[in-house]
């Protein structure tokens, strides 16, 4: 849909209701009307079709195998074990492909049929989780550092992020009427104070990071809040945030007007100013974002088109205060910390390495059964949380010491204690969903990842550097859902079996990678990596990571990294 059609559709949608009720009631097709497919996104669901079946269905003169993906709004990815069990039960009943943890700390349910959309959404809401604004031209699921080490700070940051997520929800009651049978109040006021009648020009994303961990990839967000901590009385306390704006990953092959971009540092704010800052940034983008070309409609282009100084000034004017100079801050890692970590309060946290976030029983690794068993064990323990990480993994947080042995036994018994023996490459790798559900996929990603990492691991071993830590990310197209442009090695899909090979990001989420080889197949990818691994094995400095080595050795000319303070708005 082109931009002007999308803008008209939003404006005339009767508060995102459109003709969804009629589309859903139409039993002749498994599809929705085109306009309703767009509006459905604002309710947290995408119409898709099973691409593995497309050709066969076409031959049989059948319509595509339409099905729906549903995405939760779970700020910071926090669920109770009881909620996990409820979603597991709903997914088992309605979602052909079960639960999938996303790169934004949400759960996706794939393969839901049209007639089962409503019961599925009702089931999710019965678990006190909703899907409002999980997709669409609005603020999406707010991501939050999943670092369990600093739990007091984590709790404060999480509370702010959850409050912000609520604050930025659309006001329309359409969701409650369509899916939860709320009566429409005659003359009810759907006015969208933050969004207006046409919502945002495009999606909008916010993430909260707590250094030294950059698991949310703060510089890839439209708006990133990087917590500033200061030691007081022997422990770290939250004093405010360094704010970054204008990050984004998406691009289009062959279109130089589109590109991945890291956010710029705007400055420091006190923690009480989070909501005012977010509203100022969001409404600036609402009013000045490009509404005539959806490919150029993200905040990153608004900033590049109008200038960073203008943008910062506009945000300050709207917020009613000026940014202070950023406080020093540094990240050391943008992956997860796997295995057991002791918390401040005597409880422990276990981060499991879930391959591509896919929760299913697969051979010896019985993720669905194992996590169900763990949720049953933990559901009566107060304060235990299932935390989805922004790297598609799962942290079982707040486990009482007395249960640790049983948790270990259950994880081992179900073959999901992969944090112990998976290689660093496998544990940290990210793959987007891609085929068969993603309508935009040009190549495989999630389904190809295990075979790919096995081959790359073998290559590392052949050079005597088995187990070297390495962030590899793969996406089935240039939209960048696995944040591939921040991978030390990344494959970006071009066509079936063919990828762009990108190299040289750091492992902190502060430097983008660079195109190294265009449109190559697996044999060419491995052949390209082979001599680089050989050099890395012999020439690397102590502790030097692969991405940093490639830049130092001059293999690639990397774009400048974001550190704080660096590239400050004037």
| The two structure tokens encoding residue 38 | 């767009």
Contact status: 397 vs ligand SRM (CB under 6 A) = no
What CA–CA distance (Å, rounded) separates 23 from 42?
Answer: 16
Name the catalytic one among 17, 71, 494, 508: 71
Residue of 1, 191, 440, 495 interacting with ligand SF4 (CB under 6 A): 440
Give the three-class secondary structure for 71: strand
Strands (DSSP E) along 117-173, which ranges? 143-144
Residues 6+ apart with CB under 8 A from 300: 222, 246, 247, 248, 261, 263
User: Nearest 5 degrees, angle CA 513-CA 517-CA 522?
Assistant: 110
Closest CA to 242 of 286, 273, 283: 273
Contact status: 432 vs ligand SRM (CB under 6 A) = yes
| The two structure tokens encoding residue 309 | 């100084």
Contact status: 433 vs ligand SF4 (CB under 6 A) = yes
477 binds, among ligand SRM, ligand SF4, none (CB under 5 to 8 A by kind): ligand SF4
Name the catalytic one among 10, 97, 205, 372: 205
What CA–CA distance (Å, rounded) separates 135 from 72?
Answer: 9
When CB distances to ligand SRM are compared, the closest residue is: 250
Q: How far is the CB of 260 from ligand SRM (least distance, A)?
A: 7
Q: How far is the CB of 491 from ligand SRM (least distance, A)?
A: 14
> Which residue number, 23 or 389, has a Cβ lying nearer to ligand SRM?
389
Residue of 138, 265, 438, 520 interacting with ligand SF4 (CB under 6 A): 438
Q: Is 205 a catalytic residue?
A: yes
248 binds, among ligand SRM, ligand SF4, none (CB under 5 to 8 A by kind): ligand SRM
Q: How far is the CB of 161 from ligand SRM (least distance, A)?
A: 14
Contact status: 445 vs ligand SF4 (CB under 6 A) = yes
Closest CA to 357 of 128, 97, 13: 97
Burial of 371 (0-12, 13-18, 19+ CB in 10 A): buried
Q: Is 203 a catalytic residue?
A: yes
Distance from the Cα of residue 26 to its chain's centroid: 33
Contact status: 440 vs ligand SRM (CB under 6 A) = yes
Burial 211-227 (b: 16+ CB within 10 A, else e): bebbbbbbbbbbbbbbb
71 binds, among ligand SF4, ligand SRM, none (CB under 5 to 8 A by kind): ligand SRM
From residue 187, give the alpha-carbon distance in Å to each of 21, 195, 198.
Answer: 19, 20, 20
* Per-residue contact string for residues 182-221; x = within reach of ligand SRM by CB under 6 A: --------------------xx-x--------------x-
**Residues 315 to 334: which contact ligand SRM by CB under 6 A?**
none
* Residues in contact with ligand SF4 by the rule CB under 6 A: 432-434, 438, 440-441, 445, 475-477, 479-481
Q: What residues are annotated to the active site?
A: 71, 140, 203, 205, 432, 438, 477, 481
């Amino acid at each position: 849909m082109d931009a002007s059609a999308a803008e008209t559709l939003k404006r005339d949608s009767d508060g995102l209701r459109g003709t969804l009720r009629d589309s859903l009631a139409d039993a002749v097709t498994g599809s929705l009307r085109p306009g309703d497919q767009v509006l459905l996104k604002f309710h947290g669901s995408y119409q898709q079709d099973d691409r593995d079946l497309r050709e066969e269905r076409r031959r049989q003169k059948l319509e595509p195998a339409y099905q729906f993906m549903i995405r939760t709004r779970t700020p910071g990815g926090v669920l109770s074990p009881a909620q996990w069990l409820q979603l597991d039960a709903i997914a088992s009943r309605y979602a052909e492909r079960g639960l999938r943890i996303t790169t934004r700390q949400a759960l996706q349910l794939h393969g839901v049929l049209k007639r089962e959309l409503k019961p599925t959404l009702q089931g999710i809401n019965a678990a006190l989780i909703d899907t409002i604004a999980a997709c669409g031209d609005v603020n999406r699921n707010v991501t939050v550092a999943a670092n369990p080490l600093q739990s007091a700070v984590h709790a404060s940051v999480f509370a702010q992020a959850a409050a912000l997520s609520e604050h930025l929800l659309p006001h329309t009651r359409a969701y409650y009427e369509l899916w939860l049978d709320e009566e429409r109040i005659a003359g009810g006021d759907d006015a969208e104070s933050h969004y207006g009648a046409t919502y945002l020009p495009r999606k909008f994303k916010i993430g909260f990071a707590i250094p030294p961990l950059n698991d949310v990839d703060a510089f890839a967000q439209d708006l990133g809040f990087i917590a500033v901590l200061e030691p007081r009385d022997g422990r770290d306390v939250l004093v405010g945030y360094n704010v970054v704006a204008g990050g984004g990953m998406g691009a289009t092959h062959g279109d130089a007007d589109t590109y991945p971009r890291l956010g710029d540092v705007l400055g420091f704010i006190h923690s009480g100013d989070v909501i005012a800052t977010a509203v100022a940034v969001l409404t600036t983008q609402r009013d000045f974002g490009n509404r005539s070309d959806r490919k150029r409609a993200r905040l990153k282009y608004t900033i590049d088109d109008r200038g960073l100084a203008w943008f910062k000034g506009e945000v300050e004017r709207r917020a009613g205060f000026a940014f202070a100079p950023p406080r020093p801050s540094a990240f050391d890692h943008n992956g997860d910390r796997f295995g057991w970590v002791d918390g401040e309060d005597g409880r422990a946290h276990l981060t499991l390495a879930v391959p591509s976030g896919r929760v299913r029983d697969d051979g010896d690794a019985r993720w669905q059964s194992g996590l169900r068993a763990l949720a049953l064990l933990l559901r009566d323990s107060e304060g235990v949380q299932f935390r989805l990480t922004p790297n598609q993994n799962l942290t079982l947080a707040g486990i009482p010491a007395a249960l640790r042995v049983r948790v270990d036994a259950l994880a081992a018994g179900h073959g999901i204690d992969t944090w112990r023996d998976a290689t660093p490459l496998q544990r940290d790798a990210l793959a987007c969903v891609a085929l068969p559900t993603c309508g935009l996929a040009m190549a495989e990603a999630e389904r190809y990842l295990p075979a790919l990492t096995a081959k790359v691991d073998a290559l590392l071993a052949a050079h005597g550097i088995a187990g070297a830590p390495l962030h590899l990310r793969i996406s089935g197209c240039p939209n960048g859902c696995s944040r591939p442009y921040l991978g030390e090695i990344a494959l970006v899909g071009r066509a079936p079996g063919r990828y762009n090979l990108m190299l040289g990001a750091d492992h902190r989420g502060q430097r983008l990678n660079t195109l190294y080889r265009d449109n190559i197949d697996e044999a060419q990818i491995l052949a390209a990596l082979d001599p680089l691994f050989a050099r890395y094995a012999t020439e690397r400095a102590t502790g030097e990571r692969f991405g940093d080595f490639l830049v130092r050795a001059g293999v690639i000319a990397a774009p400048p990294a974001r550190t704080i303070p660096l590239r400050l708005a004037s």
